[in-house]
Amino acid sequence: MSKFRKKDKGGTPEISTASLPDIVFMLLFFFMVTTVMREVSLKVVVQQPFATEVKKLEKKSLVSYIYIGPPIKGLVSTYGTEPRIQLNDAFATVADLGEFIIAEREARSEKEVPFMTTSLKIDKTVKMGIVTDVKQELRELNALKVNYSTKKGTDITTE
């Protein structure tokens, strides 16, 4: 019965890995395209509150960021737990806002200035006092478009 001889190798044939690089490259390109490099290292903890009526911020190049929150763990010993304002890479006070906004404006062309938005990334535990100060300062500076950065969704803790 040589016609029905068993194959000499009974194991499963090896899977070709030749397409593996292609698959990996595909993933690679996806991540390369979607990557946004982190621009600042955060020195404050910002846990954003939740909201349902959120809008996506468009034109990222026209957005300047202000961070407010308690300092991160490593800095608590030096700066305490009181909420602080962070502009670019450093702690700042309300008085520094003017300089910051003007610098941001100068980095853009004059035409784009009216469309500039200030995104306020504020920790949810922060009291409104400091936020109000920032808002008043922004008003004085005529930087009127603001975005209260929030996450989409509903918070369970709000009654």
Partner 1 sequence: MARSKRTAEPINAGSMADIAFLLLIFFLVTTTMDVDSGLLRKLPPPLDPEAPKPPPIKERNVFTVLVNRNDQLLVEGEIGSLKTLRAKAKEFVLNPYNKANLSAKKDPAIIELIGTYAVSKGVVSLQNDRGTSYDMYISVQNELVAAYREIRDDLAMQTFGKKYKLLNKVRAKAVRKAIPMMISEAEPRNISS
Please give the residue ranges that form the binding site for partner 1 (CB under 8 A): 17-18, 20-21, 24-25, 27-28, 31-32, 34-38, 48-57, 60, 63, 117, 119-120, 122-129, 131-132, 135-136, 138-140, 142-152, 155, 158-159
Kindly tell me which of 112 and 136 has the beta carbon lying closer to partner 1.
Answer: 136
The residues near 65 (Cβ < 8 Å, ≥ 6 apart) are 40, 118, 119, 121
Q: Residue 91 CB, nearest distance to partner 1 (Å)?
A: 18
How many residues does the structure list for the chain?
159
Kindly tell me which of 63 and 113 has the beta carbon lying closer to partner 1.
Answer: 63
Q: Which residue has the tokens 């990557």?
A: 35
Q: Residue 113 CB, nearest distance to partner 1 (Å)?
A: 15
Buried b (16+ CB within 10 A) or exposed e, 112-144: eeeebbbbbbbbeebeeebbebbeebbeeeebe
Kindly tell me which of 8 and 58 has the beta carbon lying closer to partner 1.
Answer: 58
Q: Residue 126 CB, nearest distance to partner 1 (Å)?
A: 5
Q: Residue 12 CB, nearest distance to partner 1 (Å)?
A: 20
What single-letter DSSP state applies at residue 53?
S
Kindly tell me which of 65 and 79 has the beta carbon lying closer to partner 1.
Answer: 65
Structure tokens given for 86: 């962070």
3-state secondary structure of 119: strand
